[in-house]
Copies of this chain bind each other. A is one copy, B any other.
Amino acid sequence: MKKIINDPKQVVDESVAGFAIAHADLVRVETDPIYVVRADAPVAGKVGLVSGGGSGHEPLHAGYVGYGMLDAAVPGPVFTSPTPDPILAATKAVDGGAGVLHIVKNYTGDVLNFETAADLAAADGIEVRAVITNDDVAVKDSLYTAGRRGVAGTVLVEKIAGAAAQRGDNLDQVADIAERVNANARTMGLALTPCIVPHAGEPSFTLAEDEYELGIGIHGEPGRERLKLEPADKMVDRLLGPILEDLPYASGDRVLLFVNGMGGTPEVELFIAYKHAADVLAEKGITIERSLVGNYITSLEMQGMSITLLKLDDEFVELWDAPVQTPALRWGR
């Protein structure tokens, strides 16, 4: 296992401590229990947004804490859900009197622990709503999930719902927008290599030198099938096909095209994939109005990518373009 770490058991604590120093202008970090919160939290009168989940997907979620996006992120151990305790603490810390929205990727542990935290927060008089993201079209159920997995679409939900909260929408309005983004987003991913969870010390799965896994989850859990390596354009076709059919997306639609790196794939490859995806969408009469290309929700050092389409309307575009100031997404302010 080749990693820049000290004690495998201290990976998350040490990393978050570094993150806190590097981004002290935007966030502060609580350590007992551990969570990352906007430096100016709670923002009075604003709906608070809390997300979280296992670590190893950085910059998700802590990288999205700040003005116009999340109010707090709760990092669990690598690829393991945080317990209800820090989720509850984060929920309380961001409650500015307008209620709190939990944005939860559909993984069984996350869903359960966020639910428990929401119940405890409600008992303390905080109004909480939850949105479960489940944008992955690859598999119906998976190793860690009943129903579809919540993957890269979550980044778009956090940005757009975060902008809605920032402009002053109430809890029901912010939750409805988050639900609507999730309902209009579809994702599928692939992996060329596995990744190694530090405390496990060995790859989560194996792939032959000439194979890749289509429909992979963000923890390396199995996808649809194992295929022989093929050209990038063909890989993109295999991701885009099921995505386009699923909503479905159709000629005349306006979309955000999001090509996400799994952590170990160089940017030069992501833009090759983006290019072909753009060509395919153009052929189908689908207009790309916004784009996002880079490592935004990762699986440690896994080589691979996912493609996400979000069907846009005027409100989504306005909220996407709205100012955001977080460690990993920053513009317009």
| A21 nearest CB across to chain B (Å) | 5
A97: CB under 8 A from chain B?
Answer: no
* Assembly CA distance A50 to B105 (angstroms): 43
Report which of B78, B193, B266 forms a contact with A58, defined as CB distance below 8 A.
Answer: B266
The 8 Å CB contact of A11, one of B56, B268, B278, is B268
Contact status of A269 and B5, CB under 8 A, knowing A17-B275, A330-B330: yes
List chain B residues, Cβ under 8 A from A56.
266, 268
Sorting the interface of chain A by its residue count into under 10, 10 to 19, 20 to 34 or 35 or more gives 35 or more
Bound form: Cα–Cα A269–B300 in Å: 9
A5 touches B271 (CB 8 A): no
B residues within 8 A CB of A209?
Answer: 2
| Contacting residue for A268 out of B15, B268, B305, CB 8 A | B15
Q: Which among A63, A232, A333 has the greatest number of chain B C-beta atoms within 10 A?
A: A232
Task: List residues 224-267 of chain A with CB under 8 A from any CB of chain B.
Answer: 229, 231-233, 235, 257, 263-267
A332 surroundings in chain B (CB, below 8 A)? 333
| Alpha-carbon separation in the docked complex, A269 to B8 (Å) | 11
Residues of chain B with a CB closer than 8 A to A263's CB: 264, 266
Given A192-B4, A267-B59: A21 and B275 interface contact (C-beta under 8 Å): yes
